[in-house]
Amino acid sequence: MPRLKRSHTCGELRLEHQGREVTLAGWVHARRDHGGLLFVDLRDRYGLTQVVFNPAHATELFAEAQRLRSEFVVAVRGLVSRRPAGTENLKLATGQVELAARELEVLSRADTPPFDVADDGEVSGEARFTYRYLDLRRPSVQRLLIARSTLCQAIRRFYHERGFIEVETPFLTKSTPEGARDFLVPSRLEPGKFYALPQSPQLFKQMLMVAGFDKYVQIVKCFRDEDLRGNRQPEFTQLDVEMSFIDEEDIFSTTEALVVETTRAVIGREVEAPFPRLTYAEALARFGTDKPDLRFGLELTDVSDIAGRSEFRVFRSALEAGGEVRALVVPGGARFSRQEMDALTARAQELGAKGLAWYRVKADGLDGPIAKFLAPELQQELIGRLPAKPGRQSEPGDLILAVADSPKVVRTVLGQLRLELARTLGLIPPAPAEGGPLACCWVVDFPLFEWDEKTHRWDPGHHPFTSPKEEDIPLLESDPGRALSRAYDLVANGEEVASGSIRIHDCDLQQRIFKVLQFTAEEIEARFGFFVRALRFGAPPHGGIAPGIERWVMSLFGRESIRDVMAFPKTQSGVCLVTGAPTPVEEAQLRELGLRLRPPQ
């Protein structure tokens, strides 16, 4: 049993504690031997306190303190003293006081860490996540997980005050693929059968609406066996919300109030609501993506009518083939060298474009390799059409970039170039936690279906339980590609942080959707029979939304990787570097489950 018990944290002591005997416990953050005195910075998650060991007071204690090394876990008892004049550290909350040590207990010794825990500098990803428990000691990393905890507490408080019921849904459930692969769990008691880990609690929360729980909420772990990217992990946490007798406006207003309150709670910032709304088509047309970052300009503009009157064959050929020409303005981009322009062109081609047209804006018109194909009046029309920034048209010194191709290629290429140029030019403000804006918007009116060229069938744009817009229901059998859905995404600083929809509550309409997706009666019964039966017993109109907790924290703190805001994340290949999972299991365990391994195909 430890002899010394902590009485205060390492971030707690102030001038008012002067003269009091206290006990601190934590990790040795740094150690400075000044000959006659030994200074040790003691750290816990609350902060840092300077401890002073004076050989004049206790020779043995001083000798013991000299043996301390970084990351030793110790407890120290002593008197709180005011630091001598001129030695205060006003950057620290405890910087006006120090602890004059009287007793020391080494609770645990530590090996030399593979990286400097006391330094918040760059560490390789492999080292960070192999020794994640050490990485988590670093204040900058702890800050993210503490913020995540604060967010979850604020979420629960928000929904509790509004009468929502928190219900836990099963983790071991039925495989009903929703776009990604399921993680399967073999059953020992039912040999040859499998559970699936939930990609979301979608059908359970809808059945809770059938059950009469008109306001449901849950902070829940979800699982998807999909290829990983910076903002994806095989397991993640989402806030799951469902409400009955509501429409989109209720979802929007409640979620906006949630964002306002939780942002205030987590980072102390105010967010303006209501949020602007863009249709899916408008977002693609203006920003080249359905996840628009509204913090800077560089918007895409349709210049097909001007391009069609030019003499440039590439433009005219693209338009004749049913394509379009869009352009954006890079403020001050005329200074780019020819080498930089060649690099931009190569990047556009890498993204799928056949090329990149560009013009420098001059006082009397345009300059560049293909400017001659635009008559002077067309040059002036193009300059006048394109905004360089909100409220400012293009002007001398700017650069115009244009792509001619199919609408999908044009918008994808320019949308990606827009983001990359914003980073290069320093147009992206700091993260909200560092004083920058939180630019939120709703994206609505998504296509109800997406055509799959490989299978030659329609796939759900969101999931098969999303309601079509009322006026588009007649299109389900005649022209499903034109039908729009009642789905919506919440986007914050260019990151989709929440997705949801108004659901189908009418059993007959749900069956029509299944038929468009070419599900046979046998498939419907096998995969969704339990849910269809629930709809037959009186389902209220309902809808919901599911913000991702990790993506939310990422947006607030400007992080580009979801791994930064998870305690023990996986690598891009799905490996936990701390434990080594996934790992082989013993043959006996496989036999008990009725499984036998064979080499992968």
- Given the structure tokens 């349709």, which residue do they identify? 302
Q: Print burial letters for 71-109: b (CB count within 10 Å at least 16), e (below 16).
A: bbbbbbbbbbeebeeeeeeeeebbbbbbbebbebbeeee
200 and 322 housed in the same domain: no
Cα separations in angstroms, 80 against 19, 50, 88, 392, 586? 5, 10, 14, 59, 57
Give the other-Cβ count within 10 Å of 484's Cβ. 20
In the listed set 398, 428, 458, which residue is the last one of a domain according to the structure?
428
**How many structural domains does the chain have?**
3
Asked if residue 135 belongs to a domain, the reply is no
Closest C-alpha to 272, from 257, 294, 290:
257
* Cα pseudo-dihedral 427, 429, 430, 434, rounded to 10: 160
**Same domain, residue pair 452 and 408:** no
Reduced to 3 states (helix: H, G, I; strand: E, B; else coil), residue 27 is strand
pLDDT at 394: 82
What CA–CA distance (Å, rounded) separates 534 from 398?
60
pLDDT digits (tens, 9 = 90+) for 92-124: 999 999 999 999 999 999 999 999 988 777 888
Q: Collapse the DSSP code of 33 into the 3-class scheme (helix H, G, I; strand E, B; otherwise coil) and give the result.
A: strand
In this structure, the chain runs to a length of 601
Task: State residue 179's pLDDT score.
Answer: 65
Residue 108 has a pLDDT of: 97
What pLDDT is recorded for position 178? 57
In this predicted structure, what is the pLDDT of residue 177? 64
Distance separating alpha carbons of residues 273 and 409, to the nearest angstrom: 34
Residues 6 or more apart whose CB falls under 8 angstroms from that of 71 comprise: 27, 28, 110, 113, 117, 134, 137
Query: Can you give the three-state secondary structure of 465-514, one letter per residue?
Result: CECECHHHCCHHHHCHHHCEECEEEEEECCEEEEEEEEECCCHHHHHHHH
Same domain, residue pair 258 and 301? no
Check residue 589 and give its pLDDT.
Answer: 94
Residues ≥6 apart with Cβ < 8 Å to 189:
none
In angstroms, the CA 324 to CA 113 distance is 57
Which residues of the chain carry a pLDDT beneath 70? Answer: 177-179, 230
- Based on the domain organization, do 317 and 377 belong to the same domain? yes
Residue 322 and residue 265 in one domain: no
Same domain, 273 and 217: yes
Q: What is the CATH number of the domain that holds 63?
A: 2.40.50.140
Domain carrying residue 190: 143-277+438-565
DSSP assignment letter at 430: P
Indicate if 226 and 332 belong to the same structural domain.
Answer: no
394 in the same domain as 487: no
Evaluate whether 49 touches 95 at the Cβ level (below 8 Å): no
Residue pair 450/416 in contact (Cβ under 8 Å)? The answer is no
In this structure, what DSSP letter does residue 448 have?
Answer: S
Closest Cα partner for 483 from 506, 458, 507? 458
Q: Tell me what pLDDT residue 176 has.
A: 80
* pLDDT for position 120: 75
Single-letter residue type at 165:
I
Strand partners, 103: 77
Do 458 and 511 lie in a common domain?
Answer: yes
Q: What is the 3-state secondary structure (H, E, C) of 250-318?
A: HHHHHHHHHHHHHHHHHHCCCCCCCCCEEEHHHHHHHHCCCCCCCCCCCCCEECHHHHCCCCCHHHHHH
Same domain, 495 and 546: yes
Considering the domain boundaries, does residue 3 fall inside one? no
405 and 471 co-located in one domain: no
Is 252 inside any structural domain?
yes
What are the strands of the beta sheet with 365-367, ordered from one edge?
301-302, 324-330, 399-405, 357-362, 365-367
Neighbours of 39 (CB within 10 A): 16
| DSSP labels, 129-194 | HHTHHHHTTSHHHHHHHHHHHHHHHHHHHHHHHTT-EE-PPPSSB----SSSBPEEEE-SSSTT-E
- Select from 389, 407, 428 the last residue of a domain: 428
Contact 77, 99 (CB under 8 A): no
User: Any idea what the CATH number is for the domain that residue 324 is in?
Assistant: 3.30.1360.30
- The HSE-up count of residue 527 (CA atoms within 13 Å, CB side) is 13
Task: Tell me the CATH number at 489.
Answer: 3.30.930.10
Residue 355 lies in a domain: yes
Question: Which two three-digit tokens encode residue 425?
Answer: 């030019």
Q: Tokens in use for 170?
A: 């099963």
Residues 184 and 223 in one domain: yes
How far is Cα of residue 140 from the mean position of the Cα atoms in its chain? 18
Helix 202-210 and helix 521-535, axial crossing angle in degrees, nearest 10: 40
Residue 587 lies in a domain: no
